Amino acid sequence: MTTTDDTRLDVRTDATAGSRIVHAEARLCDIPVETERTDALQTFVKQETILVRIRTADGAEGVGYSYTIGTGGAAVLSLLRETLLPALIGLEAERPEAVWLSLFGITRATTVGPITALALAAIDTAVWDAKTMRAGLPLWVAAGGASPSVPMYDTEGGWLHYRTDELVEHAVAAKERGMGGVKIKVGMPRGHQDLDRLRAVRDAVGPDLDIMVDANQSFSVSEAVRRAHLFEQVDVFWFEEPLPAEDIEGHRLLARSTSVPIAVGESMYSLGHFREHLQRGGASIVQADVARVGGITPWLKIAHLAESFNAKVAPHFLMELHVSLVCAIPNALYLEHIPQLRAVTTGELRIENGRGWAPTAPGLGIPWDDRALDRLIVA
């Protein structure tokens, strides 16, 4: 029996030997935003994009990435170059769980937190890219293959600095493109100002377009409860990040006080944090960001955790990557429309009748433009 087991281990090792990682590099580039983006707390000034490229023993390559919205990219790059990439050499891209656990183990002193999560995500997405390239499968199929397309909602037309007439114009245009919904940023000084803007959009688009609202963690519990009651008047589809992400009890109290579904997740960095929110009943829509939770490997666990709570998934940002992930799972709700990679790719996400379609090419399906990236490299 021992001989048989040892033989099996040898066979498995031989079968994955070609996927051993023999080269890894990281770069940082600044991608300019396509439009001014403002919310209740900040302005999105640039996208620092951290890119990791790996090569396996059999010549397969994988490219992964993560991002910040303006600061911290150099810290992520330093962690990658000084600690994580050297430890990556010799690990097998065919085994993303093993790779992730190994790297998580050597960064235990700095987890859970954004710098480490973003670094792990850049590697993990590169590993999945190489793995699915070697298999000849698109990511959405390799990760589950639930559906080839997903409904989309638009965020680009709902930033806080837009005038009410501009919000209306953008919402009507999104509806005409077949989008299922639009997201409007809230957090004006007084609640009636938010409500007036939302009511103007609702009056223009009618009852059949979903209107999401996003406070970007700007409210106290009492103010969030008050505004949720106002937002009920225009039938908002969800209330996103009403409170600081760590206020689990506050989210529970808010969810019990309103009929509006509560959405959380873009500012959360661990599987356990999502579990706490779901167990306490503080959220019914999960918005896990693949970069901020540490990559595809933990993202899929969060999505399946949400499924066990009968909760839907509508990830934050990164539509070019998230489209494959939401198409992989059975409990996807929406994909957020915020284009950001057009300046550094040779093709765009396929959108037809308001639905995003997962790439069918092997790997992540993001057609990087290396020349464009080279021009934007800062480190």
Q: Catalytic residue at 277?
A: no
Q: Which of 277, 316, 322, 337 is catalytic?
A: 316
Q: 261 and 284 in contact (C-beta within 8 Å)? A: yes
Q: Which of 170, 183, 185, 312 is catalytic?
A: 185
- Rounded Cα–Cα distance for residues 125 and 305 (Å): 20
Structure tokens at 250: 């506050």
Q: CA-CA distances (angstroms) from residue 215 to 17, 139, 170? A: 48, 32, 19
Q: Catalytic residue at 316?
A: yes
- Rounded Cα–Cα distance for residues 184 and 156 (Å): 9
Q: Which residue has the tokens 């950001």?
A: 340
Which of 300, 268, 25 is closest to 145 using CA atoms? 300
- Rounded Cα–Cα distance for residues 173 and 183 (Å): 13
The pairs formed by 308-312 with CB atoms below 8 angstroms and a separation of 24 or more are 309/278, 309/279, 311/278, 311/283, 311/284, 311/285, 311/286, 312/284, 312/285, 312/286
**175 HSE (CA, 13 A, CB side):** 16
DSSP code for 265: -
- For the annotated catalytic residues, the residue numbers are 185, 316
